[in-house]
Amino acid sequence: MGLLLLLTSTLLFSYLKITSVDLSVEPSDEVSRGTNVTLRCKGKVLTSRMDALIRVYTISKDDVVIYNKTTSSSEDFLYHLPEARVSNNGKYRCRMHMMGEEMGSQAVRLSVTGMSTPILQLSKAIVTEGEAVNATCLAPGETGSILFNFYDGSKDIDKMGQSSNPVMFRPKGVGDHVIRCSYSVFVMPDKFSSPQSNAVNLTVKVLTISPQDNVYEGDALKITCSVNDSMKDYPDALLLLSQGDTLLNSGNTFVHANWIVQATGPELNVVCRLYVRSAEKVAMKTVSVTELFSVPILQMSPSEVFQGDSIRLTCTSRILSYDKLGGEPLIYRLESLTDNMTQANGIFVFKAKKIDFNYTCTVVAKGIKKKSNVLAINPKVPVSAPKISVHGSAILGKELNISCLSETGTPPITYTLWKNNKQDNTVVVQEFHKPAMFTVLVSEPEQLHEYFCRASNGNREPELSDKLRTAVIVPMTKAYLMVLPTSGDISEGHSVTLICSFTGTPPVTVGWYRESDSNSLNLTTTKINTTSYTFILSKKHSDKYYCKAQNRANFVESNRVELEVGMAKWKKLLISGTVILVVSSLVMMGCVLFIRSRRGRHTYSPPETQASHVFR
């Protein structure tokens, strides 16, 4: 009860109120670049509580929160800005939150003056007219949103960079250029601009080519490459003029070449290289070149050929500059000559070889020679007449796989199965010596003789197989067991014949069985629809008998026939004689006993009886 009263009194009499929040800047709200600045946030609280209270401080710049801090200390909260930059300029506020109470300070403006001098770097110091240069402007130590500006002398270069620094530009005009840069730091809505960077000299040298317009293959070009006069102080300088891998001329500070254009593409790239000790400078110039005639195209007709077929190769240049050619004919040649070939005006006709071969053609005019791409010719081997056969046994009422295979022929080969001149199915085989497999249902015994297949691997007449020749196995449908003799004496010592009749395609394996024993009495194979088994009877042969008939399709069991084996005749006679003898003996014994009994009655009569008998 006392603890409850204490808790209630604590809740009733605890009190907290934030009375003020002040923000100050140290050492001053106006500092120079690189000064370590501290923002001091002091909050005053009126409370009756004695325990440590949790305070949450929030620092914002231009109304954007930049820092949060939770602490139980009652000391002033300090936020540090080490080595202040102009990007730190702005209005700062501090806000304190405590147990549902919240209060913010007045805004304090921080002003930082001074910016670092930018540093300019160029990727090249000497370039050819029209060549691009990469320029990098550095603002050491600066932060924030920065925009860079580049200048060529007193003129602005139409390139500015932020995170994309460096930028690429092309100096305008031949000679020396003085390149500078500057940058601006944006602290919205204000912008702070830096001084200009160091100056970097850029020299633009000259590489001249004439003419530059209406240049055709085979034309003569005048090419000149030189460097500025300052390079004359280097006697070991080497200037090389080249086109591709061809060296046109060389010198110290000036080179000149009269050169016949041999370019086979739409552009001609001329390169001038300057070597001074271990340094290398490169100038390039591109001249558009019109083809005198296009690279020839070698085509085959027909597009598919078989060994021994006639082939027609056509070599043509589709683009011709008739005015420049001036009526000079184009000379076509086939580089891979073939026996018995006829040719005229870029058309070559010959018989296809039995092996694969590669062909190219060339066109020559006005000293310009051009070669076509390689044309690979792969003559196909015609298909041979396919052979048709079956896989496994053909069983009436079941599915069967029919195989169709050509021994020779270049794949892919299209195999088609026909039935009575009606197309049944088609299979395309992509591999050598692989048969096409067709699945059919055998519904009639003579059905398979109606099937044949044909094979084709191109634009030739298909090859046909013979008709399918195979026997259809009719499954076993029933079996019947008959016993001979059908009547009369079936007894021990006599022979009995079990005859098994059945329906189904031979050869048929027949077995005879009795119900009391799973082992067969006899097995035989026959090519007819009936067979028999004969054996001598004994008393133990009394049982039910049946037969099983099996061919390559299935097996069936016959009906059951019961045999009751009787006793042999001699046994019956022996038993009858014995019975008669026993009966006769018994009768005789009875008669003897009877007679004896009668005699005894007369011999031993009592005296009274005799006397009375006499008396009467």
pLDDT at 487 over 70: no
How many degrees, rounded to 5, is the angle at CA 595 between CA 593 and CA 600?
Answer: 95
- What per-residue confidence (pLDDT) applies to 158? 64
The one-character DSSP state at 113 is E
Q: Which residues, including other chains, have CB under 8 Å from residue 342's CB and lie 6 or more apart?
A: 348, 349, 350
Mean pLDDT of all residues in 64-91 = 92
Q: Find the range with the poorest average confidence among 180-189, 355-364, 603-612.
A: 603-612
pLDDT higher than threshold 50 for residue 6: no
Task: Return the CATH number of the domain spanning residue range 386-467.
Answer: 2.60.40.10
What band does 7 get if pLDDT is binned at 50, 70 and 90?
Answer: very low
Predicted pLDDT at 256: 63
pLDDT tens-digit readout, 547-580? 999 998 899 999 999 888 766 565 666 666 676 7
Superfamily of domain 206-290: Macroglobulin (MG2) domain (2.60.40.1930)
CB 496 within 8 A of CB 537: yes
- Taking 70 as the threshold, does the pLDDT of residue 2 lie above it? no
Superfamily designation of domain 478-563 = Immunoglobulins (2.60.40.10)
Check if 119-204 and 386-467 are the same fold.
Answer: yes
The class of domain 119-204 in CATH terms is mainly beta
Cα–Cα distance measured from residue 442 to residue 446, given in angstroms and rounded to the nearest whole number: 9
| pLDDT (tens digit per residue) in 324-358 | 887 788 888 887 766 667 777 788 887 877 777 88
Residues 510-533: tens digit of each pLDDT: 999 999 888 999 999 999 999 999
Mean pLDDT of all residues belonging to the chain: 82
pLDDT per residue as tens digits for the range 364-411: 888 788 899 988 888 889 999 999 999 888 888 888 899 999 999 999
DSSP 8-state code for residue 485: S
Range from 73-82, 193-202, 333-342, 411-420 carrying the lowest mean pLDDT: 333-342
Domain boundaries, the chain: 17-113, 119-204, 206-290, 297-358, 386-467, 478-563
H-state helical runs in 521-605: 569-603
The dihedral built from the CA positions of residue 27, 30, 35 and 38, taken in this order, carries a sign that is positive
Q: Would the pLDDT of 234 be above 70?
A: no
Residue 9, pLDDT score: 45
pLDDT exceeds 80 at position 257: no
Per-residue pLDDT, 207? 61
Fold that domain 17-113 belongs to in CATH: Immunoglobulin-like (2.60.40)
What gap in Å lies between CA 35 and CA 17, rounded to an integer? 36
Alpha helical stretches, state H, 326-379: none
pLDDT class for 614, splitting at 50, 70, 90? very low
